[in-house]
Every structure is written in C-alpha cells, then in structure tokens.
Amino acid sequence: MGTGASSQKRRVCPNDYDPEKFKMILSLYDKLDSDGDNIIDIAELKSIAELHIKNNITQNKAELQQNENYKSKNIDLLEAECEKKKARILAEIEAELESKRREINNHFEDKQKKIEENIRVYETMNCGAKSDTFMSVVSKDNQIDFWEFYEYMKKRTGDIKNIEFS
C-alpha cells in the first residue's frame, strides 16, 4: 500500500526531523491509504478524524482550566496591588478594584462561553463533520497527499498509538 518505487523516492525524511518519527508517519499514512493510491481520501479518514476531534475536545477542556487559572491569578495580582494603595486612598482603591474585577470576570466569562461552545460543537459532530473538520486542517482539495499529512503529523507522532482503526 503506497510503497511503490516512485512514492518511496519522494518520501525521504527531512534532515531536520527525527527518522524514527518520520518512519512512524510513513507507516500510519500507508495504513490509512488502504487502496494504495498514495492519497488519503475522506473514506479512509475515520480513525484519525475521531482522534483529531477527541484531541480538540481535550485541548479545549484544558484551555478552560487554564482560563480559570489565569482568571484567578489576575484577580489575585490585582487584589495584592490594591492592598498596597489602601492606606492612602481607601475609597478610591475599593472602587477601582470592583471595576477591574468586573472587567476581568466579563473577559474570562466571554472566553469561557466561546470555548464551551467549541466543545459542544465538537461533541455533537457526526462522522462526516469530524472528517470534514480534519480535512480542512490538512488539505485544500479534499485529498491528503503525503507531504500535507506529514506536516500535520510531524509534531503528533506520540499520538499515533491512540488511533483506533475500525
């Protein structure tokens, strides 16, 4: 599958990339290219599209937690700054604190809503939508050639073991 002499000639590991990881990407590409035409089409994407969506959900959930941590950290930093000023102008500082607290809460709540909406969209995608989403990341013409696939996978080789083939 996809290992003919002409395709092998083009599939040389770039000098600045780990040969073992490149070999993993080649192997995965050949598994996904079930018809051996050196192009992964939508029908051959189901396994990797599922993992792509699962990873996007995980990443968005982690971003939600990071958002909450940054929100708390920003509020904590703001409160510490205000405590130093209290001795001089207590009333003015209390008003400033409340205003900034609302601003920070509004900012992070808006971001949280956007992230939660992304998660809802990913969680409700059917198989076709997942494949379309993955294709939009790795292809411009609804077919994935090896080098487009390589660019997507070269930083994700540690995730290859999580792909479930049906």
d(CA 159, CA 74): 33
pLDDT for the residue numbered 162: 83
pLDDT for the residue numbered 160: 83
Paired with 145 in beta bridges are: 39
Task: For residue range 69-112, list pLDDT tens digits in order.
Answer: 999 999 999 888 877 766 677 778 788 889 999 999 999 999 99
pLDDT for the residue numbered 3: 47
Calculate mean pLDDT across residues 28-55.
81
Residue 44, token pair as written in the block: 């051959």
The full set of domain ranges for the chain reads: 18-162
Mean pLDDT for the chain overall: 85
Cβ contact 40:33 at 8 Å: yes
pLDDT for the residue numbered 86: 67
Calculate mean pLDDT across residues 112-117.
96
Share of the chain above pLDDT 70, in %: 92
Please report the DSSP string for 87-103 in residue order.
HHHHHHHHHHHHHHHHH
Instruction: Give residue 21's pLDDT band: very low, low, confident or very high (50, 70, 90).
Output: very high
pLDDT for the residue numbered 1: 43
Calculate mean pLDDT across residues 143-150.
84
Share of the chain above pLDDT 90, in %: 43
Q: Is the pLDDT of residue 29 over 90?
A: no
Calculate mean pLDDT across residues 33-58.
82
Any alpha helices (H) in the chain, and if so which ranges?
5-10, 19-32, 46-123, 127-138, 146-153
d(CA 54, CA 119): 10
Per-position b or e across 7-17, b if 16+ CB within 10 A of its CB = beeebeeeeee
Which element (helix H / strand E) includes 39? strand 39-40
